[in-house]
Amino acid sequence: MGWKEAAEPVLTRMPTVAQPEGHVPFKRKLGWTAGILVLYFFLTNVQLFGLDTAAANDLFGRFRSILAGSQGSILQLGIGPIVTASIVLQLLGGADLLGLDTDDPRDQVLYQGLQKLLVVVMICLTGLPMVFAGNFLPVDPAVGQALGVGDFGVKSLLFAQIAVGGILILFMDEIVSKWGVGSGVGLFIIAGVSQQLVGGLFSWQGLGGAAGFFPTWFAILTGQQSISSPLTAEGLQALFIGQGQLLPLLTTVFIFGIVVYAESVRVEIPLSHARVKGARGRFPVKLIYASVLPMILVRALQANIQFAGRILQSTWSEMPAWLGQYSDGQPIGGLFYYMAPIQSPQQWMWWTAGTAAEPWQVLIRIAIDLTFMIIGGAIFAIFWVETTGMGPESTAQQIQNSGMQIPGFRRNPQVIEKVMERYIPQVTVIGGALVGLLAVLANMLGTIGGVSGTGLLLTVSITYKLYEEIAEEQMMEMHPMMRQMFGSD
């Protein structure tokens, strides 16, 4: 008996959101999406009961923008367990160790059940060390005394809350995917990053935190805040990197522009209907064919590596210097320092006294970050394309099933697949590497609101695709016959 037969009784009984029966009207989809978005913002403001918020330490730090969630809330873990489970499934599927055919309805159920089971496992593997190892989620002694359960009881209560939050966000994602527009993971990333961007542009210092870009320049222009002369090195630094924030603004605008441009760059393969004369179309192979979503997997892998380093540092009384040296919870030397991604200009501009590391150490760290993101982006893009039915074989079969063919070629899926193999693999690798490079550059130059480069890339790309999906849904609402052509019913 194989593993599928052994695991089937468990995997097929995993709770799931029911598929809609028939077509879901566009307005209802928008309603479900908006409702889940409101619920997400509500849950990010539900603080963990029993947590000492004053002493809490955000373990994910700058990774928070791509992992969504909120520090100290019931959504402490964000989409981290979902992404980590996806990494495991991508690797197992890429190595062909699962033996699952996603075109088979039975295997689809097993795959979805396995994914949910892995998410629960990742919730435990991430949440338990976060609560019980180190002091990342310190307990409030008053709560333990009031309940009479002690620190261990309060920690168990904290873990139960973040586990519930992790399971909630799993089903919220599934609701959006089946009943709403887009995906829940993408929606949560957009929500978190947009909140940071708006705060970075318009927040006033009186509301807590640093002042945003526009309030800062309003204060400078009205004389309420002084700035050094731009004719000096210190003035240029303050103008572009410091309080002036001109470099983060330019970087943010550049990333917006380059992603929108890259989304429009494509190779269009002409198609014609085999039976209906004059019916023609095009199959677009975009430069960012695999989308920016594989970047979540790459950054999540880096976040898990840094998470492991923090756990080791907090539990290992004398960590070897070659493995990692920490100051205020941040790596300043050793292997974990070199594997930590560059998150801001201050972390690599050694001539501005923003970092105490030697120039050669900074250069090694930049080289490792670039290599990790570019190669990792290409590899995960390939895995993404193959496991989501976007590869040459799956695409050829979809074109064949739709009744279309490539003019001048025989109407045969093998022939169409050979044509697709000329474009899809190469474009997938180039697009994945390009996105990895842009993510590192955006982090190095800084962005408005302290959003990570990957988070900004994801937000722009997901928003662009969401716009395209909304336009497609509206077209199908206006022309119901389109749903039959695309198989949406």
Interacting residues of 403 by C-beta distance below 8 A, sequence separation 6+: 273, 274, 275, 276
- Helix (H), strand (E) counts: the chain: 19, 5
Structure tokens at 30: 């928008």
Residue 19 has pLDDT above 50, yes or no: yes
More confident residue, 390 or 174: 174
Split into its structural domains, the chain has a count of 2
DSSP symbol at 228: -
Which one of 186, 218, 252 terminates a domain? 186
Is residue 68 in some structural domain?
yes
pLDDT of residue 134: 65
Segment holding 369, helix H or strand E: helix 359-387
- Residue 467 and residue 335 share a domain: yes
pLDDT of residue 159: 93
Per-residue pLDDT band at 411 (split at 50, 70, 90):
confident
Q: Identify the CA nearest to 419 among candidates 393, 383, 381.
A: 393
pLDDT of residue 485: 47
Per-residue pLDDT band at 98 (split at 50, 70, 90):
confident
If you average pLDDT over residues 33-59, what whole number do you get?
85
- Residue 159 and residue 274 share a domain: no
- Residue 237 and residue 182 share a domain: no
Which one of 131, 163, 186 terminates a domain? 186
Q: What percent of the chain has pLDDT over 90?
A: 14
- Residue 373 and residue 255 share a domain: yes
If you average pLDDT over residues 268-277, what whole number do you get?
75
CATH of the domain at 399: 1.10.3370.10
Residue 143 has pLDDT above 70, yes or no: yes
| Token pair 């050669």 in the structure block, residue | 360
Interacting residues of 214 by C-beta distance below 8 A, sequence separation 6+: 201, 202
One DSSP character per residue, 318-359 reads T--TTT-EEETTEEEESHHHHHSPP-SGGGT-GGGTS--S-H
C-alpha–C-alpha distance, residues 68 and 453, integer Å: 14
pLDDT of residue 278: 61
- Residue 104 and residue 47 share a domain: yes
Is residue 14 in some structural domain?
no
Query: In b/e form, how buried is each residue of 269-302, taking b as 16+ CB within 10 angstroms?
Result: bebbeeeeeeeeeebebbbbbbbbbbbbbbbbeb
- Residue 153 and residue 287 share a domain: no
E runs forming strands in 259-399? 266-273, 280-286, 325-327, 330-333
Domain span at 76: 25-186
Is residue 366 in some structural domain?
yes
434, 287 Cβ separation under 8 angstroms: yes
- Residue 241 and residue 172 share a domain: no
Is residue 192 in some structural domain?
no
- Residue 143 and residue 279 share a domain: no
Residue 349 has pLDDT above 70, yes or no: yes
- Residue 106 and residue 253 share a domain: no
pLDDT of residue 207: 45
Output the average pLDDT for the chain.
Answer: 83
Condensed to tens digits (0 to 9), the pLDDT of residues 197-246 reads: 888 888 876 444 567 888 888 888 888 877 777 777 777 777 777 777 88
Which one of 186, 206, 224 terminates a domain? 186
Is residue 218 in some structural domain?
no
Task: Name residue 418's amino acid.
Answer: K
pTM of the model: 0.80
- Residue 289 and residue 180 share a domain: no
Is residue 204 in some structural domain?
no
Distances (CA, A) of 322 to 59, 301, 304, 328, 337: 22, 21, 19, 18, 10
- Residue 347 and residue 237 share a domain: yes
297, 373 Cβ separation under 8 angstroms: no
C-alpha–C-alpha distance, residues 135 and 477, integer Å: 53
Is residue 16 in some structural domain?
no
- Residue 259 and residue 160 share a domain: no
Q: Identify the CA nearest to 248 among candidates 206, 201, 295.
A: 201
| Token pair 């590391």 in the structure block, residue | 357
CA angle at 419 for the pair 418 and 421, rounded to the nearest 5°: 65
If you average pLDDT over residues 77-88, what whole number do you get?
86
If you average pLDDT over residues 130-139, what whole number do you get?
80
pLDDT of residue 208: 47
Condensed to tens digits (0 to 9), the pLDDT of residues 419-464 reads: 888 888 999 999 999 989 988 888 888 888 878 778 888 888 888 8
pLDDT of residue 173: 92
Is residue 224 in some structural domain?
no
